[in-house]
Amino acid sequence: MPDLDTKTLQEYDRKYVWHPFTQMRDWEAEPPVVITRGEGCYLVDSDGNRYLDGVASIWTNVHGHCRREINDAIKAQVDRIEHSTQLGLANDQAAILAKRLVEIAPAGLCKVFYSDNGSTAVEIGIKMAFQYQQHRGATRKTKFISFVNAYHGDTIGAVSVGGIDLFHGVFRPLLFPTILAPSPYCYRCELCPEQDSDMCGRLCLAELERLMAAHADETAGLVIEPLVQGAGGMIVHPPGFLKRVRELCDRHDILMIADEVAVGFGRTGTMFACQQEGVTPDIMALSKGITAGYLPLAATMATQKVYDAFLGDYRELKTFFHGHTFTGNPIACATALASLDLFETDRLLDSLPPKIDYLRARLTALEELSHVGNVRQCGMLGGIELVRNKADKKPYPWEERVGMRVCQEAKKHGLFLRPLGNTIVVFPPLVITLDELKFLMDGIETSIRAVTDP
Ligand SMILES: *Cc1c(COP(=O)(O)O)cnc(C)c1O
């Protein structure tokens, strides 16, 4: 139990903590829920209330909270060593994890560069691709292709290749310019009137082909969230899109950087999303699920081709001059290894199909509700888009915060949810049982009805 009572904890939080993506004036107006424990798929607050963790603590948790096997691995590692640097030294856990990651990654990704969060994993990929082109003499290839509605993190480089103006518009003067490609079904480009039709997928691909051909000689890399644009609203790309992007990158000699920070580690039903389309990117960014939601760790994986371009005599200055203090932290790496062990002992990926089917059935049923405009799913993630008017798909004005109100309501039904604008996100720990998934979807349905159809 915590040493301090709920009131004191709430006071400390509101007085001293500045929360991410949060209007603090609103935050200060209400006492926060203070989480002090976790059990399986549940979060427990300082008063003992339980909430099913419907968004896996922002898309990180895989095997549930306080999973004994992972806790034990961490305790064992702490008693050996907590941290040693990767600058001038190797450590056992980082070496073993790198081998394991190469074994499960799309074939051809064979080198692991560690950092500690998703944004850095992407920035490292961008810098690697840029420097790769310089080393091989393609010195004009300095730009990047990014997608409308993409999200790759909040550091300046990651924001530069992102496409969500609502969050990032204010930072525009600080960003490097990119070649912005339209993204299928994203509701945010003007390319086609019927946003969710096959036509949209075809038009977006045609425009991407045109952009890549026109800018091939000045483009170092393309950055993409494979299969699903996560923070952009759980927008699922049409089948075959990713594979086509891979072919185009090959044709135009552009490095493909796949950001699997959200979709990696089983979320879409396969270990990595790229594997569903048989795609090997040149560079792949991993974080969130890598430690099953326990500790900050990230990896940027690269192919032999990319790696080899950095080899040379020291005086040639081909070294990749980039690194973070906690790179390859042994406790985080031991945690990731314990998580990969659990994927095997729990046969976790094999256990997903019935849950994915159940989620599909429940999401499809929700489409009947009068204010659900559209539902989307890819494996164990889902998005439920709420609209004011179903007939013309008129969205609720974002200022009304309908998504947030549904999530507030869901607390009363024992759920913790966090929306993306007017989209309710379903992203539970992969270990969730069918009974728990039913509880989650029942609560979501009740909460949507209560807020949108009172
Ligand atoms: C969360 C996320 C990031 C950023 O990760 P952080 O650890 O928050 O920096 C990058 N890309 C994608 C696709 C993400 O979902």
pLDDT tens column, 79-97:
999 999 999 999 999 999 9
Q: Are 298 and 285 in contact (CB under 8 A)?
A: yes
Q: Is 231 in the pocket of ligand 1 (CB under 6 A)?
A: yes
Residue 184, number of CB atoms within 10 A of its CB: 28
Percent of the chain whose predicted confidence (pLDDT) is above 90? 91
Ligand 1 atom closest to the CA of 120, numbered from 1: 9
Tokens of 356: 């994915």
Question: In which band, very low, low, confident or very high, does the pLDDT at 191 lie, cut at 50, 70 and 90?
Answer: confident
Nearest to 181 by CA among 120, 243, 241: 241
Mutate to test the pocket of ligand 1, among 152, 224, 235, 274 (most ligand atoms within 8 A of CB): 152
Ligand 1 atom closest to the CA of 263, numbered from 1: 13
Cα(288) to centroid(ligand 1), Å: 7
Tokens of 169: 């518009």
pLDDT tens column, 91-127:
999 999 999 999 999 999 999 999 999 999 999 999 9
Cα(159) to centroid(ligand 1), Å: 11
pLDDT tens column, 38-51:
999 999 999 999 99
Nearest to 332 by CA among 300, 293, 302: 293
Cα(231) to centroid(ligand 1), Å: 9
What is the reported pLDDT for 115? 98
Tell which phi-psi region holds residue 391, choosing left (phi > 0), alpha (psi between -120 and 50) or beta: alpha
Q: Are 132 and 124 in contact (CB under 8 A)?
A: no
Task: With a cut of 90, say whether residue 169 has pLDDT above it.
Answer: no
Task: With a cut of 70, say whether residue 257 has pLDDT above it.
Answer: yes
CA distances from 173 to 104, 133, 158 (A): 40, 26, 14
- Name the binding residues for substrate: 151, 288, 323, 418
Q: Average per-residue pLDDT in the chain?
A: 95
Task: With a cut of 60, say whether residue 1 has pLDDT above it.
Answer: no
pTM value is 0.97
Going along the chain from its start, the domains and CATH numbers come out as 33-63+347-452 (3.90.1150.10), 72-345 (3.40.640.10)
What is the reported pLDDT for 193? 63
User: Whole-angstrom Cα distance, residue 322 to residue 324?
Assistant: 7
What is the reported pLDDT for 110? 98
Q: Is 287 in the pocket of ligand 1 (CB under 6 A)?
A: yes
Task: With a cut of 90, say whether residue 394 has pLDDT above it.
Answer: no
pLDDT tens column, 262-281:
999 999 999 999 999 999 99
pLDDT tens column, 363-386:
999 999 999 999 999 999 999 999
What is the reported pLDDT for 93? 98
What is the reported pLDDT for 196? 63
Q: Is 230 in the pocket of ligand 1 (CB under 6 A)?
A: yes
Cα(119) to centroid(ligand 1), Å: 6
